[in-house]
Structure 1
Amino acid sequence: MTAVGAVGERCHDTDVWADLVDDDLLQLEPGERLWKLFCFRSAQGRAADLRHRIYTKLKTDGRLALVTFAAHTPAPGCVVRSNLARVPDLPVEALNQIIAAIQRGVESAAEYEEIDLSSMATLEEQLAQIAQKA
């Protein structure tokens, strides 16, 4: 698992586990696996612990799908999600354009984290990696 930025600052691993496993936000189907997870936090969002997340999966047909949402933590242990949107079919090039556009609005690398799980062969291996960090 590779990351850009300091691990855990934008993507708290326990939150990632809850999003992907407990709440199944990506709605993973048999044969699908995770691709890349992106977490952003603007300088204005620090006070409210406001984060923007984009989680992607590789479908069995080789295409990507994503879920994106805002998350904030108004109280310890209470994560609230809003503005949830799904893209059921997305080419890699389009994902790269989306991420590049968001990065242009981020003040520094410290506000952005990418967790790349694309090199892992199975969903089980990916989840084990996330579980180690949770």
Structure 2
Amino acid sequence: MNFSNVPKELSHLNVFLRCASDHSAKNPTITYYCLLHAFQKGLSMTQKSPPIKAFLTTLMDKLEELKRNNSNCEEIANETVGIPYVEQYALKLFDAAYQRDINSDFGPATVKLFLSAATLLDVVSGVGEVGDDVSYHLLIR
């Protein structure tokens, strides 16, 4: 998944797009919700230049493609099931990163795990009410 044509005004979405790309081969649910979050944040911008509109259209097309290709995936079809899935996945990543950290593994893989967990917690917190676990992890981050 390549998002090299992100308009400068949407560069703040790169973290979500990168997370979507990182998970595209193995977890379409995570990819879908990262792209959905990026799309919603981009859509909320008041000024939408033609490049921004074109990029958001590309994102929307990708979301529709993911939904179509994973029509049997309850987590993608139903947000009520999908958001808790993303939350649990984020907490698993956070716990894995934390275990590496307490074992003095401070390498790039640990940093990437923490970053992915934080990004997914942002995705979950952008949807609405979050669980106590997510609130705690957002607070300590």
Higher strand share: 1
TM-score of the two chains, using structure 1 as the length reference: 0.26
Q: Which has the higher contact order (CA 8 A, sep 6+)?
A: 1
Higher helix share: 2
TM-score of the two chains, using structure 2 as the length reference: 0.25
